[in-house]
């Protein structure tokens, strides 16, 4: 994003601030003046904050690139694949605005659809190793979330977990 566009979207931006109380007061005032929202951090936690923001944002972009690559493997050109994904992503963000992650979770894992996940794993085996690894890791997180907070039956959670840990989808 260029500097001019970034400045135009600055209002409401959350900014982490860290420091002694006096420094936080000054930082809070600066953030407020700029139209941002100050988020005070516990001392020594800036690295965790930044890792979280990077994981949620930059890695989101990398994840979307992997999804575009998968769609390209299904015959779509990259631009069409991106345009097809954007409304789905917007719906996901809308769900996250309205609900906690567990309640925003949709798809085959939360439905306990082992067959669909098996098909995904089979399709991923033919693609890039990093995409396969990312899918499996995030799907295991979705299984844990669905089992903990969405009534995914324990036996289905175990079956999904085993499927997602196997190196051979067969």
The single-letter DSSP state of residue 77 is: -
Q: Which two tokens stand for residue 61?
A: 């972009």
**How far is CA 119 from each of CA 31, 102, 122, 123, 125, rounded to the nearest angstrom?**
48, 23, 5, 6, 10
How confident is the model at residue 170, as a pLDDT?
Answer: 47
Residues 19-56: pLDDT tens digits? 888 988 999 999 999 899 999 999 899 999 999 999 99
Q: Does the pLDDT at position 7 exceed 70? A: no
**Tokens 């903990």 identify what position?**
148
What is the model's pLDDT at position 169? Answer: 47
């Amino acid at each position: 994003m260029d500097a001019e566009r970034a400045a135009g979207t600055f209002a409401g931006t959350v900014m982490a601030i860290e420091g002694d109380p006096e420094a936080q007061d000054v930082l809070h005032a600066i953030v407020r003046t700029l139209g941002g929202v100050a988020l005070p951090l516990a001392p020594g936690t800036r690295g965790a904050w930044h890792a979280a923001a990077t994981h949620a944002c930059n890695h989101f972009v990398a994840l979307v690139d992997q999804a575009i690559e998968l769609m390209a493997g299904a015959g779509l050109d990259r631009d069409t694949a991106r345009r097809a994904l954007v409304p789905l992503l917007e719906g996901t963000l809308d769900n996250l605005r309205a609900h906690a992650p567990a309640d925003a979770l949709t798809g085959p894992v939360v439905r306990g659809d082992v067959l669909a996940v098996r098909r995904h794993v089979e399709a991923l085996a033919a693609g890039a190793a990093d995409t396969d690894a990312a899918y499996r890791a995030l799907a295991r997180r979705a299984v844990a979330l669905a089992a903990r907070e969405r009534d995914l039956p324990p036996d289905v959670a175990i079956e999904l977990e085993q499927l997602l840990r196997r190196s051979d989808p067969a």
